Amino acid sequence: MSKFKGQKGQASGNGHWREDEIRESKWMQFPREVLIGNDVLKETPAALKKLKLTGKTFIVTGKNTADVAGNGVADILEKNGNECFIYKSEKASLEEVERIVAAAKEFKPKCFLGVGSGRSIDLAKLASKRCDIPFISIPTAASHDGIASSRASIHSDEKSESYEAQAPIAVIADTGIISQAPFRLLSAGCGDVISNCTAVLDWELASRHQNEPFSESAALMSKMSAEMIMGSADLIRPGLDSSARMVVKALVLSGVAMSIAGSSRPASGSEHMFSHALDRIAKKPALHGEQCAIGAVMMMYLHGGDWEKIRNALIQIGVPTSASEMGIKDEEIVDALLLAHTIRPERYTILGTGLTPSAAEKVAAVTKVIQ
Ligand SMILES: NC(=O)C1=CN([C@@H]2O[C@H](COP(=O)(O)OP(=O)(O)OC[C@H]3O[C@@H](n4cnc5c(N)ncnc54)[C@H](OP(=O)(O)O)[C@@H]3O)[C@@H](O)[C@H]2O)C=CC1
Ligand SMILES: O=C(CO)COP(=O)(O)O
Ligand SMILES: [Zn+2]
């Protein structure tokens, strides 16, 4: 008998399960307002007014991003009659979420703003869900596809979890700020989206081998966001407003795919498990999107697909494609490949029950990730 009880076993034309049967929750959440453009940060008070959220605002930001935008947005809001509480986050953990929730309970905000990197946005997303109030995503870099998703990722040395949180009610992506962020962050965002290629292949595999529920529309959106970036790789350049805009749009699309699926499945497969393993193993991990991109090159090789196409697109954009370019030791790559299948054993991928040491060395060497 199928382990998916309420699934009636109807398959769509190409053999995948009908997508309306996959979610535990009936709710799909998407942003209501998405503002992308140069200087849109100053529209924040107007956005709050439109959303009837004027009043007290709780801002989760980071050490660097407070100066980039966190303090600035607080100034703009205060000049427009709002009262702000600024919380500088340090590490994404459930304990940090608790601390934010405790501070927010005292302050009693009308909404949360996540202003900064993936970490600050994920923390604001989870804390706002816990407080049951809306949250607005204000990325200072296009480095990850969590800017519009309803998921929040928390990783530790013991566990890597993707939590159901809530989608931002609005995304305010100021391309003036994002295009001036270190280019490495933008290129990492490209890597995170390009890695959807293998995430979707893993999901299809799990659907075929394990009858795992699959959403055609989420998979298509996820693949489309990867193709948008790979097809425009030559246009993604440092300091350009147009590049920032293009990458933000792809990240939003990828985040919406996760919200449709009700899980991070469309954007996180074996290549993300490799990245999470590397976070635990490497002395000095690289950026999330960079690690996922290199993971995608290797996982595409294991899938028997066109890994060189991914590698070439990454090179064209300027995303690292080797361990040494990421500042990671070759042995750490091989160890992460060997650990990857244990990261989320319930998520079936091309890694199956794991690689042998010689297979791990081979995939990393053939794909030129290690020397
Ligand atoms: N929820 C979801 O669906 C997803 C979540 N994620 C999560 O997001 C995280 C990765 O996000 P990512 O942003 O790559 O990495 P980090 O959150 O680690 O941020 C990277 C660094 O960039 C800095 N930074 C951000 N913007 C600027 C800027 N404009 N100028 C200078 N420095 C800047 C940050 O500063 P500061 O110290 O101020 O923060 C931080 O030090 C991971 O934890 C990952 O799991 C990734 C994809 C999807
Ligand atoms: O990083 C993500 C998608 O890009 C989220 O995936 P995880 O569920 O692996 O944290
Ligand atoms: Zn990711």
**Are the C-beta atoms of 186 and 143 separated by less than 8 Å?**
yes
- pLDDT for 146-205, tens place per residue? 999 999 999 888 888 889 999 999 999 999 999 999 999 999 999 999 999 999 999 999
174: Cβ below 6 Å to ligand 1?
A: no
User: What pairing do the DSSP bridges indicate for beta strands 170-174 and 83-88?
Assistant: unpaired
Q: Is the pLDDT of residue 2 over 50?
A: no
pLDDT value of residue 20: 46
Give residue 348's pLDDT band: very low, low, confident or very high (50, 70, 90).
very high
- The ligand 2 atom nearest the CA atom of 272: 9
Whether residue 12 is predicted with pLDDT greater than 50 in this model: the reply is no
Residue 209 scores a pLDDT above 50: yes
Would the CB of 188 count as within 6 Å of ligand 1? yes
The ligand whose atoms approach the alpha carbon of 61 most closely is 1
Instruction: Choose the weakest-confidence range: 13-27, 86-100, 253-267.
Output: 13-27
User: Mean pLDDT throughout 243-259?
Assistant: 97
Confidence of residue 22 (pLDDT cuts 50, 70, 90): low
Q: What is the DSSP letter of 53?
A: -
pLDDT tens, residue by residue, 154-165: 988 888 888 999
User: Is residue 265 marked as binding?
Assistant: no
Q: Answer yes or no: is 99 a known binding residue.
A: no
What is the structure's pLDDT at 357?
98
Strand segments (E) across the chain:
33-37, 56-61, 83-88, 111-116, 135-139, 151-155, 160-164, 170-174
Query: Taking the CA atoms of the chain, what radius of gyration do you get in angstroms?
Result: 20
Mean pLDDT of 309-331: 98
For position 156, what pLDDT does the model report? 86
Q: What does 282-318 look like in DSSP terms, one character per residue? A: -SS---HHHHHHHHHHHHHHHTTS-HHHHHHHHHHHT
Contact 152, 122 (CB under 8 A): yes
Token digits for 350?
A: 């091309």
Would you state the structure tokens that stand for residue 309, as one six-digit string?
């196409």
Does pLDDT of 14 surpass 60?
A: no
pLDDT in tens, 62-85: 999 999 999 999 999 999 999 999
Please state, as a whole number, how many other Cβ atoms lie within 10 Å of the Cβ of residue 229: 26
Which protein residues are within 6 Å of ligand 2, measured from CB? 145, 153, 162, 192, 264, 267-268, 272
| Dist. CA 145 → ligand 3 center (Å) | 6
Position 4 scores a pLDDT of 38
Percent share of the chain, pLDDT over 70: 93
Question: ipTM score of the complex?
Answer: 0.98
Signed CA dihedral, 98, 65, 275, 194: sign only: positive
Ligand 3 centroid – CA 60 distance (Å): 20
What pLDDT is attached to residue 24? 58
Per-residue model confidence (pLDDT) at position 280 = 96
The pLDDT of residue 3:
39
Cα dihedral sign, 318-323-328-333: positive
pLDDT-above-90 percentage for the chain: 89
| 254 in contact with ligand 1, CB cutoff 6 A | no
Burial class (CB in 10 A: 0-12, 13-18, 19+), 124: buried
CB of residue 122 inside a 6 A radius of ligand 1: yes
What is the distance between the alpha carbons of residues 131 and 117, in angstroms, rounded to a whole number? Answer: 21
Q: Is pLDDT of 40 > 60?
A: yes
Q: Is 121 among the annotated ligand-binding positions?
A: yes
CA of 118 to the centre of ligand 1 (A): 4
| Ligand 3 ion local residues (Cβ < 5 A) | 192
Q: Over the chain, what is the mean pLDDT?
A: 93
pLDDT at 9 over 50: no
